[in-house]
Amino acid sequence: MKLSIILFVLSTLALSLAASRSKRAAYELPDGAELIVGAVRTTFICSNEGYYADIDNNCQIFHVCHTAVHADGTSEMQQWSFMCGNQTVFNQFSFTCSSYEDAVPCGSSGDFFYLNANLHAGPNVFFHNEQDVARAAAVTPGRPAQGQPPVVRPPGGGRPPFRDSPKTWLQEDIQPAEIGHRLSYDLPKEHDQYFNLSKATACYKSAFVRGVSSASVEVAWGRRRI
């Protein structure tokens, strides 16, 4: 009887700790994140699976949302938060941490949330279609030749995301094995389905051919299981 009680208490404690860890993962950022981002606003809550720029934090933070199904049949939406380093922001069009000039404006990120649905489109389908590329090109501040206004820096609170010498696909042909090594996060094994590196490479090269280059190799597809 005592053994049963002890086992019950231990299992309850384990479940409690797991739930607590999952909750802490939301906005669980590296020490000193406030020095880069400014005062962090914890307003984003996952409602659908995918990768999402945190507009309230100038897109210097992004979130990974995933529905976990437990053994008892119940499910919960889990959320992990990450910060873009090296003075970059999360580009909702390419799902990468890019220089500000080569990312869609942070305020327009919500217009590209729908791209998360393409994560399940299959390995033989490009991540972007012609309409997606045209929509991004029309608002990307790094394309002044199309009549775009000058780059406007984010409001005060964090350092302006700017890179002195960004690399482009024209300067360096990134291979699939190289994609994702810059940001190495230990996400659950279930996230393997999202990280199709060959597909990521194909879609970024496709975007470049169509006239939209990604000026950053600091990508957010990082993981340790390459």
CA separation for the pair 36, 22 (Å, rounded): 24
User: Is residue 181 over pLDDT 70?
Assistant: no
**Helices and strands (H and E) in the chain: how many:** 4, 5
Q: What is the pLDDT of residue 59?
A: 97
Question: pLDDT of 105-115, one tens digit each?
Answer: 999 999 999 99
More confident residue, 138 or 23: 138
Query: Distance (Å, rounded) from C-alpha 46 to C-alpha 66?
Result: 8
Q: Give pLDDT, residue 183.
A: 36
Mean pLDDT of 122-126: 84
pLDDT at 4: 56
3-state DSSP assignment of residue 120: helix
Angle at 217 between CA 211 and CA 221, to 5 degrees: 100
Q: Where are the domains of the chain?
A: 23-139
- Is the pLDDT at 116 greater than 90? The verdict is yes
* CA 31 – CA 168 distance, rounded (Å): 30
Confidence bin at 26 (pLDDT 50/70/90): confident
Q: Model-level pTM greater than 0.85?
A: no
In this structure, are residues 114 and 92 in contact, taking their beta carbons and an 8 Å threshold? no
What are the tens digits of pLDDT across the range 47-102?
999 999 999 999 999 999 999 999 999 999 999 999 998 889 999 999 999 999 99
Sequence-ordered alpha helix ranges (H) in the chain:
2-25, 33-37, 130-139, 197-209
Is residue 133 within 8 A of residue 207, CB to CB? The reply is: yes
Does position 218 have pLDDT exceeding 60, yes or no? no
pLDDT value of position 221: 37
Q: Is the pLDDT of residue 135 over 70?
A: yes
